[in-house]
Chain A
């Protein structure tokens, strides 16, 4: 059982929902990949995609502020995120993924990034209501599942 799953039973319904949607986001960026480091790269691509999509609604600065807070919260639990940097208005948005995988491995990096995504969903839910936050993220997910994740190629190159 990994760290994220340990407290699963004590998660509230909203937390479970947040985790579920974060995983779906990551999965949607994972399917087309191959190789040993897919989980972490897929999680980073999901973050890039969500940043781009949410920026349309709340602006790149607003979205960056959300991610910054989520990263800070996740870092307290996942030291692997120390090397992760957020680059506002840049592609890719999540930087330092390669270095983190090298230092901590693919699965721990993926788990840490997933945790950051979960914190972001929860934070957005607290700010604008869980129902609306879910709706916005579902929208992003739908776009991602339709194959509109245009930055994935750039993430591969990065």
Chain B
């Protein structure tokens, strides 16, 4: 386990998220069918598959993923590429929202090849602020912000006192609590808001995919090497 966030760790995180989205594609779409338009799973899966395609390019010999090569543009450039890929492949509301999350994280990460846990917490916070600005959503509007904002706060609070892995675990747990807390809420943003009171009693699909994102971070971001590499 690494105590710093590396580019390899970020790549492992993104691959783990793509795998989780693929695995939960039908689940996310079912949640969306209840209060939205039944496409969140397929849209996110299409976007993350495109992201994985870009990562595969990076992993080729001489690419930024080679440990012996100096990184090209660092974590920031990597996250921006992810953001632009999602913006151009996901569509719907999730495209600009997840796209903005990664674009803003990329801007905050800058050219660094490695980030301390506290720096990573600041990067996530910048991304979540971007999501809120794009979607104009606050806590308890029954959106992805309900999972992301508590996760970012938990990471911030624990990034100095705990190991990176433990801090990421705390963040994932906060995201899970936030996701579950969307169940009784009446939606105030997005298509679910058209249902009024009938949106209560359903878990928000965007908060669910955001929990998967934080869960993937807890599983993979602190690894020294990508999950699918020998020697892990």
Say whether A associates with B: no
